[in-house]
Amino acid sequence: MNSIAPVYNEDSGTPARDLNGSLDALAPVFKASGDPMRLEILRVLQRDTFGVLELSQIFEMRQSGMSHHLKVLATAGLLEPQREGNAIFYRRPLQSGTDSLQDVTIHRIFELVDQVALPVHLSTRIQEIRNQRADQSLAFFARHAEQFREQQELIAAFELYAEPVAELLQQRSELEGWQQILEIGPGEGAFLAELSQLGESVVALDNSKDMLEKARATCDAGSLHNVTLVEGTTDLLRQTHAGHFDLVVANMVLHHVPSPADIFADATALIRPGGSLVISDLCSHDQNWAKANCGDLWLGFEPEELTAWASDAGLETGETLFIGLRNGFQIQVREFRKPD
């Protein structure tokens, strides 16, 4: 009976990768990446997700030209479009979990371009985009601080995600013995009473002065004397509190921040080795009204996105819980740990 003998690499004697069809798939990848401008676009999209207009602003290029570059990169599999309401944003594809030659090549290209430092002018324009997003979010909360709870509960009642998060933290606290806790974006401070019982000291960080005043009233009413309210952002706090916290919590915050991936990087810097990051947030959805009514910058996230951002930041994935809501939304509660 005839059999097909395996092909071996001449140097190592090990079976070679099956290349049937692979070279045809590689050709558009190399063609699309063989342009300095497109490589710079890939570098800019290392962790961020940008729309066509934002990328045109960053590169000072006409929208038609930028759209062409993005179409070529997306067709080759180097980028993937992501719909956010009526707008299309672009990001790098998530790890597929396969070891196909095409996927390996694409992520090897990412590794190489990431070794090149971003030029100062691009970094400056990226920060301008983030500031614009942050100003948009701040303006919303300044206008709707008095109706914060009502606005948020259009999507999910506080108890629906707070209780599962609290249960997870209570189970962990018996083993961990947390002392220093940080909550990012405490809102009106409804979860601070829970955190104040779990640790010796709690820092509540928010960039909205209006929301901090709400949280202050909550702390005063509940006599939460071990809670310190801080106005600012995670990238500023890490300059003074690196490795300070045993636990960082962010409840329904990521979809309001300009660059969600940065929260993972900043949290990793803020957490001591062996500490934890616990996040609750929306799964990806298509209900665009949440942007206008609730001040959302992002329409939720795929679980794989959070896992990828955490892995890139050096965190390991722990518990995962999904909560389905009657109005069609789904919440994910995620635990990540910083290795000892």
**Tens digits of per-residue pLDDT, 53-107?**
999 999 999 999 999 999 999 999 999 998 887 889 999 997 666 678 888 899 9
Give the C-alpha separation, 194 to 166, whole Å: 7
DSSP string, 3-72: -PPPPB-TTT-SBPPP-TTHHHHHHHHHHHHSSHHHHHHHHHTTT--EEHHHHHHHHT--HHHHHHHHHH
- Tell me the pTM: 0.82
Has residue 9 got a pLDDT over 70?
no
* pLDDT for the residue numbered 24: 81
Dump pLDDT digits (tens) for 126-167: 999 999 998 888 888 778 767 666 767 778 889 989 999 999
Nearest of 32, 218, 251, 48 to residue 132 by alpha carbon: 48
* pLDDT for the residue numbered 124: 95
CA distances from 13 to 18, 20, 59, 104 (A): 15, 20, 48, 22
- 39 confidence band (pLDDT: 50, 70, 90): very high
Question: Percentage of the chain with pLDDT > 70?
Answer: 91
Mean per-residue pLDDT of the chain: 89
* pLDDT for the residue numbered 1: 43
Has residue 19 got a pLDDT over 70?
no
* pLDDT for the residue numbered 301: 95
* pLDDT for the residue numbered 139: 85
Two tokens, residue 183? 């909550």
Dump pLDDT digits (tens) for 220-254: 999 999 999 999 999 999 999 999 999 999 999 99
Q: Say which residues have a Cβ less than 8 Å from residue 177's Cβ, sequence separation at least 6.
A: none
74 compared with 6, residue with greater pLDDT: 74
Side-chain-facing half-sphere of 38: CA atoms under 13 Å: 21
Nearest of 85, 81, 93, 92 to residue 52 by alpha carbon: 81
* pLDDT for the residue numbered 18: 53
* pLDDT for the residue numbered 21: 55
Residue with token string 């558009």? 28
Residue 282: φ, ψ to 5°: -75, 140
